[in-house]
Amino acid sequence: MSWVRVYIHIVFSTKNRVPFLDSKELRKQVFQHIKQNAAEKGIWLDCVNGYQDHAHCLISLGREQTISKVAQLIKGESSFWINKNKLTKNKFDWQDDYWAESVCHIERIRKYIHNQEEHHSKNTFKKEIDNFMVKGDLQSG
């Protein structure tokens, strides 16, 4: 039997970076749902968190899973669920694009994802993504 453990850090934003996820309670509800839905779909989602306009997921790909398919399943179902349950005033959508990188410093990534509130009290999402593109793997995180 094949065994695969390939960790990927995926980050995706709300459409046009609208701060739909504007309360801790709403974020907690959405991220708990994402985790539960991922488990139901056979996606190993180690942790998920985010801020008002984006989400971070640490996943481990299964042997027949692709990053694009996992991102599609997580984003598509969660936006459907958010809209079905009328959790936002306006129609909710995730942006089509995402950022993804393979990672090996798992504990550092988990800590970074779990500390989104603190991190975004100092940095914008744009600055965060710019840093990812330059440094990769959260070198300063």
The residue ranges of every structural domain in the chain are 6-135
pLDDT at 124 (0 to 100): 65
The values of phi and psi at residue 16, to 5°, are: 55, 20
Burial of residue 137 (CB within 10 Å: 0-12, 13-18, 19+) is middle
What pLDDT is stored for residue 117 in this prediction?
A: 83
6-135 homologous superfamily: Transposase IS200-like (3.30.70.1290)
pLDDT of the chain, 141 residues: tens digit per residue: 788 889 999 999 999 999 999 999 999 999 999 999 999 999 999 999 999 999 999 999 999 999 999 999 999 999 999 999 999 999 999 999 999 999 999 999 999 999 988 867 666 666 666 665 565 545 444
Please state, in angstroms and rounded to a whole number, the distance separating the CA atoms of residues 71 and 30. Answer: 15
Q: What residue type is assigned to position 95 of the chain?
A: Q
Geometric angle at alpha carbon 15, from 30 and 110, rounded to 5°: 45
